[in-house]
Amino acid sequence: MILPKEGSFSKKLSEIDINHKVENYTWSAMSSYDSDAHLNLGISHFNADSIIKAYHTIQDFNPDIVIINTIMPPWYMYAAKSLDIPTIMMIRESFDERNSTRLLPTALEYLDNINHSASYILYNSTYTQNMYKDYISKPKYSVYYPVVNGINKSILDSAIDKVDSRVSIITPGSIVEHKNQLDLLKAIDILQRRGLKDISVTLMGHADAKGYIKTLQDFIKSNNLADNVKILDFSDNPFNEIIKNQIVVVPSKSEAFGRVTLEGQLAGRLVIGCDSGGTKELIAHRDTGLLYNPDKVEDLADSIEWAIRNPEKAIFIAKNGQINAKEKFLTEKAYDSFFSALQTTLKSRKKDNKRSPYFDPVYALIQRNLHVNSILEDYARSLEAASRQLLELTSKKPSKLTQFKAFVKKILKNKPGLS
């Protein structure tokens, strides 16, 4: 296991005799708003350094498969490709403005690299897979819903025994605009005007530093909701707060998977979520939870009121959601698609693997920075910096040095302005 730092996870790995190594990697890309030549040079240099570092790690360990559990950074995928080692990439992020992916001018080229480098893709939901289907089509793929472990048995045996006009609602998750907590507050305001004034709401999670928390606080103040709403910081164990409430609301319109939905169901709470994104894959309406139209705040208010007016049905749905979540996400069956991906990818490995490196990923990386800024001088300097490190791979083998020279000639041929 390659980890960014020591912590509780690395300690756990040591306890079960799984080797781990801590390595830090630079991951940077130019946005369409960047034009700083020195920044461009630094990005090229440090990204190339990261590829070399990943290359050496893989070469030393000599694995059968490299599994990458995030779409960024790509260095282990590039390094594994250069050594002809198959890779499984686990994609669980949305491809949109929230993580700036779509804002990068090189985003489509990056996805094309994944398309030609990854051996197998595991998506965390059908919704996520659909986001990328137009860009990543070559690798085999399947949907692998994350497995949840380590939940206390008392939580899994927990259940709600009543739902009434004094119902308490919780929304765990980062307090940021795309999580859409404001819609829940608007729904509570609507319910107050309908005479349901005793509903309490807890928002729990890291607050962003860009003002969204202030937007929520201003709404609470201007609509006299201070007695109804409290905001708590992030907790490593959200279940302690979840079980104090009867309802979990997931107002985010585009959850890639929606772990909060699953946590609410496993804790035996009634989960009300948007009929969109990965959330709707986890909830069968009025069977394992309630779904509402993400574009209509009134529909969320109606769903909460329906639960209050139909307490026996609400309790039944919450229990059914808990049973369903346990069966799908806490049993060994949940690992089937992961094991299948491993077996398929192992079969794809070449038996006559010569593990000869090639340098196209670094070439493409530097070329993309040129594409963004058209700065030939910086491009030349970046190539020089990357070349020094790449030559370390070739210095002990004359045949590799010949290969590297051919690589440099290829670049000069494509970019005559560098001659």
Q: Clarify whether residues 71 and 180 are in a common domain.
A: no
Q: Clarify whether residues 111 and 164 are in a common domain.
A: no
Query: What is the predicted pLDDT for the residue at 87?
Result: 94
Q: Clarify whether residues 185 and 41 are in a common domain.
A: no
Position 407 in a domain: no
CATH number for position 218:
3.40.50.2000
Q: Clarify whether residues 298 and 351 are in a common domain.
A: no
Query: What is the predicted pLDDT for the residue at 355?
Result: 42
Token pair in block for residue 297: 């705040």
Query: What is the predicted pLDDT for the residue at 245?
Result: 96
Position 158 in a domain: yes
Distance (Å, whole) CA 262 – CA 379 = 48
Query: What is the predicted pLDDT for the residue at 69?
Result: 87
Q: How many domains does the chain have?
A: 2
Q: Clarify whether residues 224 and 371 are in a common domain.
A: no
Position 406 in a domain: no
Query: What is the predicted pLDDT for the residue at 224?
Result: 96
Position 399 in a domain: no
Query: What is the predicted pLDDT for the residue at 418?
Result: 47
Query: What is the predicted pLDDT for the residue at 262?
Result: 94
Give the residue carrying structure tokens 């709404």.
219
CATH number for position 141:
3.40.50
Is 383:366 a contact under the CB 8 Å cutoff?
yes
Angle at 167 between CA 317 and CA 323, to 5 degrees: 25
Please give the average pLDDT of every successive group of 10 residues along the chain, which has 419 residues.
88 90 73 53 69 85 90 83 89 69 64 89 94 92 85 90 93 93 98 96 87 94 96 90 96 91 96 96 97 97 98 97 92 83 85 45 49 46 58 59 66 54
Which backbone phi and psi does 254 adopt, to 5 degrees? -145, 55
What's CA 297's distance to the chain center, in Å?
27
Query: What is the predicted pLDDT for the residue at 55?
Result: 84
Q: Clarify whether residues 278 and 353 are in a common domain.
A: no
Interior/surface letters 118-137, b for 16+ CB within 10 angstroms, e for the rest:
bbbbbbbbebbbebbeeebe
Residue 84 CB neighbour total at 10 angstroms? 15
Q: Clarify whether residues 205 and 296 are in a common domain.
A: yes
Q: Clarify whether residues 128 and 182 are in a common domain.
A: no
Token pair in block for residue 187: 């729904």
SS3 399: helix
Query: What is the predicted pLDDT for the residue at 376?
Result: 46
Distance (Å, whole) CA 50 – CA 385 = 13
Phi-psi region of 173 (alpha: psi -120 to 50; beta: other; left: phi over 0): left
Distance (Å, whole) CA 114 – CA 88 = 11
Which residue range is the domain that position 30 belongs to?
A: 2-147+337-389
Q: Among candidates 188, 172, 290, which has minimal Cα distance to 231?
A: 172
